[in-house]
Structure 1
Amino acid sequence: MTLNRLIRNVYYFLMSVLSLPLSGRVTPEQLYSYVQLFKSNWGALESHCGVIQLGLATAQTLHHPTLPRWDACLAFERLLLQALGDSDFAGVLRQLLSLMKPRAAKGEEGSSSVYSLGSRSGEEECGPDELLVLLVYLYSLVGEAQTADDEEEEEKVERELIGALTLVITRETELSPLLQKLTGCGSIEELTMERAHTAVEGVFDTLRELSHARDHLKQLKSVYTASDGVHQAMYRPFLRQVLEEIFHPDRPESPDIEHMSGSLTDMLKTGFSMFMKVSRPHPSDHALLFLFLVGGVTPSELRLIREVVSAHKPGTQVLVLSTRLLRPTDVPELLFTTQRLVPDIGV
């Protein structure tokens, strides 16, 4: 939907610049052809090079060979989001399990070839990399599902998922860079069932830890808005909630946003606050806000920051700092294949 809106906006802008009649349906081919018209007008090209680059990027994205797969992944992500409020976590996991179940593709009479929904043969089928992204998404929302009556059932489904994902990986014809790092194998010939199974078990150990990432929070623990019968269930990004809390006009004190005392006066105020009400500095007190995101930031999060600040406090400047610029595929790589810092606690 966002991509469709983007391409239409770029199209209408180009049409207004070129003074051409508008048509009802916008296609990548149309964008390509209209951008070519700027070749003979260097002044217009220089003035509008930004939107032209945006139009070309949009058209190239729509022609990308993996776009059908990402569309299918996004559609299933929406289905999982709606299912979270209607069933327990085991039931939601079973829906994801259906993507991993191998299926038989009948070929000529007397022969058949078996492949999984994760194989690279289907353009609209989720491969192992996409399945790992969906697992990360689902386990980050595990607290939003209905309470399970039987924990053994959830463990049983997890074991089935581990087996199914192991099978999907071993039936790949070529290992992606993520799978190479995950399994420690440079080629599919080196990969064994045991190595794949061990790697997938490690993935689920990390996913279980991920499901408790917000347990220590008091107010910003949930990133999910359940369906109310009129509106569909909605994912509320954690970053959006933090920014809305910071720029809320009532300036509430959030228990999850802590002011770190940096001077003796601040430390004394913190001590007195145990016995009396002391007003603490609020992040929105200043015209410049430094926002540092540890681990990385995605382009969509940068856009989200701009939208929230413009809507709540337009005069505020926000300087966003981060360790890296992330793509969606970077998330499973950082979670599952990166050696994270183990603090020395003297044990």
Structure 2
Amino acid sequence: MGTYRALTVDWEGSNLKSDIREYAMDDLPSGEVTIRVAYSSINYKDGLSTIPGAGIISQYPHVPGIDLAGTVVTSSDPAFQVGDEVLITGYGLGASHPGGFSEFARVPAAWVVPMPPGLTAKSAMAIGTAGFTAALSVHRMEENGLKPNQGPILVSGATGGVGSWAVTMLAQSGYEVTASTRKSSEIEYLKKLGARETISPAELEIPEAKSLYRERWAGAVDPVGGPYLTHILNSVRYGGSVTLSGFTGGSELVSTVLPFILRGVNLLGIDSVLCPMDVRRAVWNRIATEWKPDEVLLDSIVKEISLSELPEAITQVLQGRMRGRSIVALS
């Protein structure tokens, strides 16, 4: 345990570069729990942390990776013992704190989730931040009254990490899922995940002369944002909920108050970063039981890569070319 490797983002002149560096264990940051990282996963936020001006990282050199799973090797907190299997998503990991693209990590004990029975480090990171965000989205909609018999649920950006898991989890819970994607080549993939129907995002557009469209969706999971969120809000059924967890389609929302005051539509913001620990554990327990994917499904969604392959995979996620999930094997 003398040294470890990590993907590092740092300035090289006026350019931001990513490379694999070797560190001494003493270089790890402060924290009560030290973890030998088995797997991490690749998320859009990780991609943003490698480009200048994205507002994700303020100090360099920096190790990205907003989630990780592995084994405790040292702990000064009695809640965690050497050998415990654990996972972390969110908080400052990979943003204000060195992240999961590293063979070892040291973190505050308050961030650490015991591995739920039924999950391994690999399956937990196959689900990862994206799957946790999808699960939290479904959880929040059900807290607001959503039930499988109320009608179809729309998932936008359905071939991405959050979208893929949302399709899967909703289908496993008995919902009728409509998956939105502009990639016609991925229709069979989405149906394999459980989508009943697939549509193009263009089908969500509302004629300019209309403030509201016909009531179509009992709810929607939207990890994309941008103009299509406006269209989704205007076509959700009375009392339905829309969860919003991303802004790859844009951060602006142009809407009227009509969906909210005429149809009682709920717009639910999904924050997987600072989600309270009691909710976090409850959602992970649902993931490990009722939403646990089988091995065949994992093979459909997940691609495993090495640390050396990580820079190219980050480029793919920034360009919108990644399907499903890519996980990084660290040890």
Shorter-chain TM-score: what band?
A: under 0.3
Larger Cα Rg: Structure 1 or Structure 2? 1
Q: TM-score, normalised by structure 2?
A: 0.24
